[in-house]
Structure formats: C-alpha cells, structure tokens
Amino acid sequence: MIYHIASNSDWEDALKAGIYAADSLQTEGFIHCSTSEQVLAVANRFYQGHTDLVLLSIDEDQSKLPIRYENLEGGTERFPHVYAAIPLPAIVRSVPFPPLDNGSFEFPSSA
C-alpha cells in the first residue's frame, strides 16, 4: 500500500471525474506518494496546520500503475511516484487526515 495526501476538494473532483490526477502530474510528470513509514514526515513537513486533507490509500499491487521508487532531491530515501492518473478502483480507502491541535499529524488507524 502507498499513500497520497490530497485536499478534500481535489478528492471530491476525482470522485466526480472517476480518476485522480494531482496537479504535480502536469507540473512534474508524476503524483507524489509515500509509504506508511514516510507519510507522517511528509505531512508534517508540507501540510502542517492544513485542515482540509484526506489520506488516500492506493493498492500498488492491484493497480498496475506505473510506479517508480526514486529520490529526485539527492538524498537516499526513495519515495513512490505514480506516473499516471490514478483510477478510482486503485484507491481502496480515503480517510479524513486532520492535524492534531498542535498542527502535526498522526497516522489514521482507519488508513
């Protein structure tokens, strides 16, 4: 399973369209994702204090999506990048992903 943090409005748009395509797919050529071990660091670095988020669970084994684990910033940690729009059946769960009172995140038990 890999994960993607999305805004509620982007997720609602995807539900209407039948496919999820983050803005980064157009600007960078892929959708940023994380493993379960990486989600909190990503959320706390880039989304601290955001209150309009959902955490999408993507079944990489069943999705047949073009996924590459890579690090494009020169570090050693590799992140899953999805090089296509994600069909809704590949997204097996979406759960609210609100911050704690201090603005940081914890991994949702329902993800």
Which CATH number does the domain housing residue 25 bear? 3.20.170.20
Mean pLDDT, residues 38-54 taken together? 95
Q: With a cut of 90, say whether residue 26 has pLDDT above it.
A: yes
- Mean predicted lDDT score pLDDT of the chain: 94
In a domain, 67, yes or no: yes
Q: Containing domain of residue 86, as a range?
A: 2-96
Q: How many domains is the chain partitioned into structurally?
A: 1
In a domain, 106, yes or no: no
In a domain, 104, yes or no: no
Half-sphere exposure at residue 94, Cβ-oriented, CA atoms within 13 angstroms:
18
Q: Most distant CA pair in the chain: distance in Å? A: 38
pLDDT band at 73 (very low <50, low <70, confident <90, very high): confident
The strands making up 67-70's β-sheet, listed across from edge to edge, are 31-32, 79-82, 67-70
> Can you give the pLDDT at residue 109?
85
Interior angle at CA 10, CA 94 and CA 14, nearest 5 = 70
DSSP bridge partners of 28: none
